[in-house]
Structure 1
Amino acid sequence: MLVEASPRDRVWGIGLAADDPAAGDPERWPGLNLLGFALMEARETLREREQID
């Protein structure tokens, strides 16, 4: 899983620093991690296109 580990960003990031004990548990994130989810979706799209070509 990709995450934006930024304690100041609760929209694009997880709202926690990378070294926070809760950073490894999505249930405990105060943030939405929209950047991480967007990057994972883009990665999946690129992988699918690579298989087609």
Structure 2
Amino acid sequence: MVIPTTIDGLTQLFSSRESSNILRFATGLFAGIGFAILLKAFKWLILFKGGI
């Protein structure tokens, strides 16, 4: 989920590279989609399986 965001942040931290807005948007989009899928899975577990 947040691996692309982490990689982008770490490469900026340890090099002289600066991220572009397009890259930040893409990594944020992937993280948001992954988080939404995770929340949907937890909701399904709670509602249909009776808990985690």
TM-score normalised to the size of structure 2? 0.49
TM-score normalised to the size of structure 1? 0.48
Could you say which structure has the higher helix fraction?
2
Which structure's CA Rg is the greater one?
2
